[in-house]
Amino acid sequence: MHLNSNFAGFHLPMSTLKEQIDIEKLPQHIAVIMDGNGRWAKQKGKLRVFGHTNGVKAVREVSEACAELGVKHLTLYAFSTENWNRPKEEVGALMELLLKTVRLEIKTLIKNNIRLRAIGDLDSLPKATLNELNEAMEKTAGNTRMDLILALSYSGKSELTKAIQNISKEVAEGKLDINNITEDLVSKYLYTTHIPDPELLIRTSGEKRISNFLLWQLAYSELYFTDLFWPDFNKEELYKAILDYQQRQRRFGKTGEQIQSQTA
C-alpha cells in the first residue's frame, strides 16, 4: 500500500489511481494505437509474434478496465492497411491471433454485455478471420454496456476517400443537395456512424504520430503518449491516462476564461 505522510506525521493510505478518477468526467470514447509489440519482443530476444501474443493480455486488461469504469466505446487500432506490407509470416500470424482471440473471448464478451464491432476494409481480411469476427459481432450485437471496436485493415485516408465517393454519388444521382453536405452528414458516411468522436487517444511505445488513424474523428481529441510498449500497458496505466486527460482543459478553440465562465 502507498502511504502519505500528513503534517502530524501520521501515515494515511493514499487513494488508488482508480479512486482518483472523476466518473462524471469520464471520456465516453477512448481510442488506442497499440504500438511497440515488436520492440517489446526484440528486447526479450524473442520473435515479433511473441510481442503480439502478449499484446492480447493488454487488450484484455484495457477492455476490462474501460467496461468497469463505464467508458462506452473503446476503439483499438489492431491492423492498419499499411500493415499488409509486413512480412507474410507476421501478417499470417496476426490474422491467426485475431481469429483465435475472438473465438476465445466471445464468452467473456457475452457475459460482460460487451458489443464487438469492427471498422475498416473488412472484406480484405482472410475468410476464416472475417467469419469468426462476423459471428462474434452477430452474437454480441444486442449488448449495451460497452462497444469494443477493432480497427482492422483500417486507413483514415481511405475511410474519408470512400465517404467522398459515396457523397459524390448521391449528389450526382440528384439524391443529395450539395448545400446539405455538413460536418454531421460527412460523419454519417464514415465507418464510425453513430459513434461519438474519441475524447482521448492513447498511443504507446513513445511514437508521437496519428498514423492514419481516425483522421476526421480525432480532430479535437486529447492525445496521450506513453513510452511503455503495448504489452506492458495495463489497467493502472489506463487510469493514469484518464487522470491526465481529466487535468486538461478542453477549449475547442475558445479561451480559457470563456471555458471557466461556462463551468462556474
Instruction: Report, as residue numbers or ranges, the catalytic residues.
Output: 35, 83
Cell of 52: 503480439
Residue with cell 448545400: 179
d(CA 39, CA 232): 12
Shortest approach of ligand FPP to residue 96 CB, angstroms? 10
150 binds ligand FPP (CB under 6 A): yes
CB of 106 to ligand FPP, least distance (A): 12
112/108 Cα distance (integer angstroms): 6
Q: How far is the CB of 168 from ligand FPP (least distance, A)?
A: 32
Give the residue carrying C-alpha cell 500528513. Answer: 6
* Binding-residue pattern over the window 198 to 227 for ligand FPP, x denoting contact by CB under 6 A: -------x----------------------
Task: Find the shortest distance in angstroms from Cβ 216 to ligand FPP.
Answer: 22
Which amino acid type is present at position 223?
L
Among the residues of 181-234, which ranges form H helices? 183-188
**Contact mark string toward ligand FPP, 170..199, x via CB under 6 A:** ------------------------------
- Count interface residues toward ligand FPP (CB under 6 A): 20
Per-residue interface string for the shown chain with ligand FPP, residues 91-110, x marking contact by CB under 6 A: ---x--xx--x---------
29, 52, 73, 203: which one contacts ligand FPP (CB under 6 A)?
52
For residue 134, what are the contacts with CB-CB under 8 A and spacing of at least 6? Answer: none
Q: How far apart are the first and last CA of the chain?
A: 36
In this structure, the number of other CB atoms found within 10 A of the CB of residue 194 comes to 7
Rounded to whole angstroms, the maximal C-alpha distance in the chain is 77
The binding site for ligand FPP (CB under 6 A) comprises: 34-39, 52, 55-56, 59, 76, 78, 83, 94, 97-98, 101, 150, 205, 230
